Amino acid sequence: KPIIKEGKLIKDLPSPQKIRQYVLEQLEKIPSFLEEPRG
């Protein structure tokens, strides 16, 4: 479902805690994200 339509917010955003939890869950799906950075 779109949150923004024609440049305007049409739906309330989830709480910052829910957004953070969602982002962390998505990042966990990327194997390279969890590895130590190589330099």
What SS3 state is found at 3? coil
Query: What distance in Å separates the CA atoms of residue 8 and residue 27, rounded to the nearest whole number?
Result: 28
Residue 23 lies in a domain: yes
The token duo for 12 is 């309330």
* Interval 7-39: pLDDT, tens: 898 888 889 999 999 999 998 888 776 676 666
Residue 12 lies in a domain: yes
Count of domains for the chain: 1
Residue 39 lies in a domain: no
Question: In the chain, helix, strand, coil percent, each to 5?
Answer: 45, 10, 45
Look at residue 34 in the predicted model and tell me its pLDDT. Answer: 64
Strand pairing report for 8-9 and 4-5: antiparallel
Q: Which residue spans within 1-39 are E strands per DSSP?
A: 4-5, 8-9
The parent domain of residue 18 ranges over 4-32
Whole-prediction pTM: 0.51
Look at residue 11 in the predicted model and tell me its pLDDT. Answer: 85
